[in-house]
């Protein structure tokens, strides 16, 4: 069982986050202490705040009096609501918070059901409870509970170079799949434009689009991610990058573009593509032969069926390259003539090195459509970035943990709690 503890200043924020899920039928309240829960099970957030305030002192020096705890059992543990409540109460007792006001919530918005607890770390006199070695004690308690109740050991899994990237399954937890894929693609592959980024994402039925606008006079620049099926149709509401994590943000993606420019190596990919092209008779033969050598060709089509983009995804070197980077004979126009035109195969240059006039081309210039249902290909936006996606190093990368205790929405909430600053003296209720 994985326990995650967040310490913050906003009691209302913690109660509202959980209460809204309950009121949207995405969970239920399992129990409470010193906080009244209505018979209908709905979360009366304002009343809950008042119940907490009646217990807590009006003034105090504790800047962050709120504890928000999530308990995440192993997916193989089949627990009833009563089991969850027993675990939560025993966990709080052993942690020293059993007599505090608290509310236990069960979240059911993802397949992996889990519980959240909102409580406070100050007593009626305003004195802070013992928080020495809090996280270490929490880990010891979860280990004890696992052994006592014969639960599976659930540890945070770290993303490794061997973690497979799988195509999105519309019947599963879509948000978590999108989040995992975006993380792994950013860690593993080098790409320099949004078109190249979308090419690798499309292999796993995900598309990314930029969003620009103005809110209250302030400009914003973000990214939105779409989950697709094999036909190129969206299968869920879009996900803002902020719901997935920092690694999915526009700033992170743009940073990755820049770093990839410094590390990309074109020649190994070009040599394989040129060799396969020389021996191929047509489109199907060319694509199949590339696949056998660990390279995917992603073609983008306009509404008239014309090829306007061609991108190679080299899984051997973990590099994504627009065809124009390899040379004009590998560009979208060249493939359009070969596959859909007069059938003339592009004439290959004698050199195995990229054409200096085209090697740094950022993408094809044709205006892309939004979708092409006839091909089933993910239609990438041709907008080019000047920078590239944050590519962290693998060892000890906590940001990219994807274990059973991970939920992108909750991670964003935790970060918001940590960033919240005190605007006045005393606890903010």
pLDDT at 356: 41
Domain boundaries, the chain: 2-156+403-419, 174-263+391-398
Q: Who's near 408: CB < 8 A, 6+ residues apart? A: 175, 176, 179, 243, 244, 245
pLDDT at position 64 over 70: yes
Cα dihedral 265, 269, 275, 278 in deg (nearest 10): -100
Confidence of residue 26 (pLDDT cuts 50, 70, 90): confident
pLDDT at 313: 97
73-108 pLDDT, tens digit each? 887 888 999 999 999 999 999 999 999 999 999 998
Report d(CA 220, CA 283) in Å as an integer: 42
pLDDT at position 376 over 80: no
pLDDT at position 266 over 90: yes
Report the Cα 378 to chain-centroid distance in Å: 19
> DSSP string spanning 297-315?
EEEEE-TTS-EEEEEEEET
Residue 32: how many other CB atoms lie within 10 Å: 18
152-185 pLDDT, tens digit each? 886 655 556 567 899 998 887 888 899 999 999 9
Residue 27, φ and ψ in degrees, nearest 5:
175, -170
The single-letter DSSP state of residue 241 is H
Confidence of residue 254 (pLDDT cuts 50, 70, 90): very high
Q: Who's near 116: CB < 8 A, 6+ residues apart? A: 18, 68, 69, 70, 71, 104, 105, 107
pLDDT at position 71 over 90: yes
Report d(CA 129, CA 113) in Å as an integer: 29
Share of the chain above pLDDT 70, in %: 78
Report the Cα 272 to chain-centroid distance in Å: 33
Q: What CATH number does the domain located at 2-156+403-419 have?
A: 3.30.930.30
CA torsion sign for 383, 302, 297, 232 is positive
126-145 pLDDT, tens digit each? 788 888 889 999 999 999 99
**Position with higher pLDDT, 69 vs 129:** 69
Averaged pLDDT, 221-237: 92
pLDDT at 78: 87
Averaged pLDDT, 301-317: 95
Write down the H helix ranges in 64-106: 81-95
pLDDT at 61: 72
344-356 pLDDT, tens digit each? 899 887 554 444 4
pLDDT at position 393 over 60: no
pLDDT at 429: 41
Averaged pLDDT, 204-218: 85
Averaged pLDDT, 368-376: 37
Structure tokens at 146: 């696992």
pLDDT at 8: 85
Confidence of residue 212 (pLDDT cuts 50, 70, 90): confident
pLDDT at 101: 95
Confidence of residue 388 (pLDDT cuts 50, 70, 90): very low
- By the 10 Å C-beta count (0-12 exposed, 13-18 middle, 19+ buried), 39 is classed as exposed
Spatial contact of 295 and 316, defined as CB atoms under 8 Å apart: yes
Report d(CA 278, CA 297) in Å as an integer: 16
Q: Is the pTM of this model over 0.75?
A: no
Highest mean pLDDT, choosing among 19-23, 31-35, 52-56, 233-237 = 31-35
Across the chain, mean pLDDT equals: 81
User: Of the ranges 45-49, 162-166, 394-398, which one carries the lowest mean pLDDT score?
Assistant: 394-398
pLDDT at position 214 over 90: no
pLDDT at position 405 over 50: no
35 to each of 18, 21, 44, 52, 242, how far by Cα in Å? 15, 18, 11, 7, 32
pLDDT at 91: 96
pLDDT at position 419 over 90: no
Structure tokens at 408: 């992108």
Share of the chain above pLDDT 90, in %: 53
Cα dihedral 151, 153, 155, 157 in deg (nearest 10): -110
């Amino acid at each position: 069982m994985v326990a995650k503890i967040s310490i913050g200043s906003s009691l209302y924020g913690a109660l509202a986050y959980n209460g809204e899920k309950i009121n949207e039928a995405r969970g239920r309240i399992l129990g409470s202490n010193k906080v009244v829960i209505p018979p209908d099970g709905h979360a009366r957030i304002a009343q809950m705040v008042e119940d907490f305030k009646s217990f807590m002192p009006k003034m105090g020096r504790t800047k962050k009096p709120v504890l928000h705890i999530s308990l995440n059992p192993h997916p193989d543990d089949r627990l009833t609501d009563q089991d969850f409540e027993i675990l939560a109460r025993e966990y709080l007792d052993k942690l020293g918070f059993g007599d505090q006001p608290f509310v236990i919530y069960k979240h059911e918005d993802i397949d992996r059901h889990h519980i959240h607890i909102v409580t406070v770390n100050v007593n009626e006199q305003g004195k802070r409870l013992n928080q020495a070695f809090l996280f270490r004690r929490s880990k010891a308690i979860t280990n004890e509970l696992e052994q006592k109740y014969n639960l599976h050991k659930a540890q945070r899994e770290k993303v490794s170079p061997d973690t497979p990237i799988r195509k999105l399954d519309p019947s599963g937890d879509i948000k978590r799949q999108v989040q995992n894929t975006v993380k792994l693609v950013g860690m593993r592959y080098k790409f320099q434009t949004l078109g190249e980024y979308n090419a690798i994402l499309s292999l796993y039925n995900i598309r990314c689009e930029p969003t620009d606008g103005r809110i209250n006079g302030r400009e914003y620049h973000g990214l939105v991610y779409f989950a697709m099926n094999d036909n190129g149709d969206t299968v869920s509401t879009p996900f803002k990058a902020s719901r997935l994590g920092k690694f999915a943000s526009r700033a992170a993606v743009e940073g990755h573009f820049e770093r990839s420019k410094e590390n990309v190596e074109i020649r190994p990919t070009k040599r394989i593509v040129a060799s396969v092209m020389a021996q191929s008779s047509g489109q199907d033969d060319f694509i199949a032969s590339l696949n056998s050598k660990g390279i995917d060709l992603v073609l983008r089509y306009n509404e008239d069926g014309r090829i306007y983009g061609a991108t190679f995804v080299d899984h051997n070197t973990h590099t994504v390259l627009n065809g124009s980077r390899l040379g004009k004979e590998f560009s979208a126009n060249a493939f359009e003539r070969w596959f859909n035109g007069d059938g003339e195969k592009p004439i290959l240059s004698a050199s195995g090195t990229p054409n200096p006039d085209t090697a740094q081309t950022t993408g094809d210039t044709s205006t892309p459509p939004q979708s092409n249902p006839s091909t089933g290909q993910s239609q990438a936006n041709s907008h080019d970035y000047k920078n590239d996606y944050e590519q962290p190093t693998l060892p000890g990368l906590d940001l990219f943990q994807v274990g059973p205790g991970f939920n992108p929405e909750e991670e964003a909430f935790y970060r918001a709690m940590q960033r919240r600053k005190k605007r006045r003296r005393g606890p903010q209720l």
